[in-house]
A and B are shown apart, each in its own frame.
Chain A
Amino acid sequence: MGGMKKEEHMLHIEDLWVDVHGKEVLKGIDLHIGKGETHCLFGRNGSGKTTLLMTIMGFDGYKVKHGKITFKGEDITYMPLNERAKLGLGLSFQRPPTLRGVKLRDMLRLCGNGSDVGVQLAIEYGFEGFLDREVNLGFSGGEIKKSELLQLLSQNPDLTLLDEPESGVDVENLNVIGDMIRRLLEKDKHRNRTKSGLIITHTGFILNYVTADRGHVMLDGKLVCHGNPIDIFERIQQNGYEECAKCQF
């Protein structure tokens, strides 16, 4: 990564240590994501994957004890959440709260700074029936995912953080979710792609819909293994995460 030009960096994390509720969760993470790249994060429940995403986004309660996060060349380690969003970071929530009285239509406009792009896309994806519903109220797992991705498409971030985008989605809707993610990450562009992604996946299903450049395995707060995401996922399926602890390739 040393040879990369500065403008080609999207996210650069150096020796990141993070506490949550006084407990050490991340123990020295190094991660580099280049412009236009999509990375996958594998690992057991509780290994620290979600904590990493929440820390990058800047949520309260994720306390950086040591290390540095650089996004598009700016040190964002202690930058407020909303400023990170404005700078081009976006996150899809695993279990977003319900916003009473706030319609999805208005939420999409808020995300897009007044633009109607999100509303247009909702119509394109056959989700217009939800535009006048209150955000997340009574939404199914798959509907929450669609709503989250539409909000992100409105927001148009440069780096999208996705926490298990396939969970709770039936096979039929995986196509739609996959298409939305491909759009977010500009997968139709093979040159000059500027959008990057970091995706947590348990099932690996999403790899059938979205190509990823690199995979990482998180084990007890450390990234222990890096490589081709499909190779890594196959090894995990064959040998389980225990092997990842031993194998360091």
Chain B
Amino acid sequence: MSVLNTIQTNEEEILKRFKPADQVDTVKDLTELDNEEILRLKKTGVDLDAKNRLGTFLQTNCGVVSCSCDIQGVEMLPITEALKKYDGLKDYYWKLIDPDKDAFTRETKEHLDNGYFIRAKKGEKVIYPLQTCLYIRNDNVAQRVHNIVVAEEGSELHIITGCTTHPHLTSGLHIGISEFYVKKGAKLIFTMVHNWAEDVYVRPRTTISVEEGGTFLSNYVSLKGVKSVQAFPTCILKGRGAIARFNSVIVAPEGSHIDTGSRIILDAPETRGEIISRTISYGGHIIARGHLIGKAPDIKAHLECQGLMLAEKGVIHAIPELEAHVADVDMSHEAAVGKIAKEEIEYLMARGLSEEDATSTIVRGFLNVKIEGLPKELDEELQKAVEECHKGM
């Protein structure tokens, strides 16, 4: 695909375009953020006033503005501090991702701004989510982040991550390296909301390993315009009976290039994987990938890519891949891309809805992927955002 080639050849150029975050001022504390910014964060799933969040990590440009966690069983540190405290985090740091993978991983290895380290201690079950926020506050800045999450044996953890830019800036680069470790019998729910601006480049590099009986659930939501996202998080199910599920809801307005997908490597017997993506193009270019790799017997995995084209322009390119390395696997996929079926619109119109209301109802339904563990207020924000982006077409 031509878009992908362009992305790869332009890696260095993209890096050169932006000013490193450590050369830009950052805020000292939360009181420096104005109401408009706080609202912007809220719309990205990060609620600084919320009582039902157990901890908050907020990084603005390169500086950590907030890092506090209310419960003893969970440790939250800026990654730079964790590296010092735990002797370079030898078991975790750059263990799942090769720093030489591409220009962006190399850049982050050499010039780390910061990031978070979160660890749920053995058996600790956290009811409410922790929230983390990676916020680019100045125009034309490159933010380079490395995150590590460890869910120790038998623990449960839910993290909501909001990544966004200042309400009035248009351009930036966000690089996020994420290495997540879900240990024996542990469960990690990771909900990520992207809320970028029209000239922002986003390069997350994410790998998750899940041990025996562990569960990893990922929810990814991106409803606003962005210049270019390229992400392909990979989850390795290493232990017997491990489970991974990825849900993605992506809307691409005109001018957005979003190349994203999820990969699950089922590397142990009786593991389960599911990838569900719902994409909508309002003129933007979406590549919706999904890749299931079955390497052990008695595994079961399913992949579902559904795309809706709601404008004359735009591209949705669904690339579902199934790869079996042993005989005893059960892997399937369904992919469908197209415009809204006329018979669905007419069905609703025959009940008295206008064509416009019928279309909205179908679009809302299409994006209504069941997102486990999503807090109510974030769910409401999503419903509103879907409504807005539909009206705005």
Give chain A's interface residues, CB within 8 Å of chain B.
Answer: 57, 59-60, 80-82, 85-86, 90-91, 93, 96-97, 99-102, 107, 110-111, 113, 134, 151, 155
Contact = CB atoms under 8 A, between A and B. Distances in A.
Range for the number of chain B residues in contact with chain A: 20 to 34
B71 interface: no
B346 A59 contact: yes
Nearest to A100: B365
A129 to B, nearest CB: 18
Contact of B347 (A60, A80, A97, A101): A97
Nearest to B355: A82
A94 B355 CA distance: 21
Which secondary structure dominates chain B's binding surface?
helix
Interface centre among B341, B342, B355, B365 (most CB of A within 10 A): B365
Interface in B356-372: 358, 361-362, 364-369
Nearest to A80: B349
B353 A110 contact: yes
Nearest to A151: B351
A96 B347 contact: yes
Contact of B351 (A59, A85, A134): A85
B362 A99 contact: yes
A99 B362 CA distance: 7
17 contacts: A60-B346, A81-B350, A82-B350, A82-B354, A85-B349, A85-B350, A85-B351, A96-B347, A99-B362, A99-B365, A101-B364, A101-B367, A101-B369, A102-B365, A111-B352, A134-B365, A151-B351
Contacts of B341: 97
B347 A85 contact: no
Nearest to B358: A82
Interface of B: 306, 341-344, 346-355, 358, 361-362, 364-369
Which secondary structure dominates chain A's binding surface?
mixed
Nearest to A98: B344
A111 to B, nearest CB: 5
A55 B99 CA distance: 65
A211 B344 CA distance: 32
A25 B243 CA distance: 55
A235 B119 CA distance: 80
Contacts of A99: 344, 347-348, 361-362, 365
A18 B239 CA distance: 65
Contact of B346 (A81, A86, A102): A81
A110 B350 contact: no
A59 B343 CA distance: 9
A127 B4 CA distance: 50
A142 B82 CA distance: 61
Contacts of A100: 306, 365-366, 368
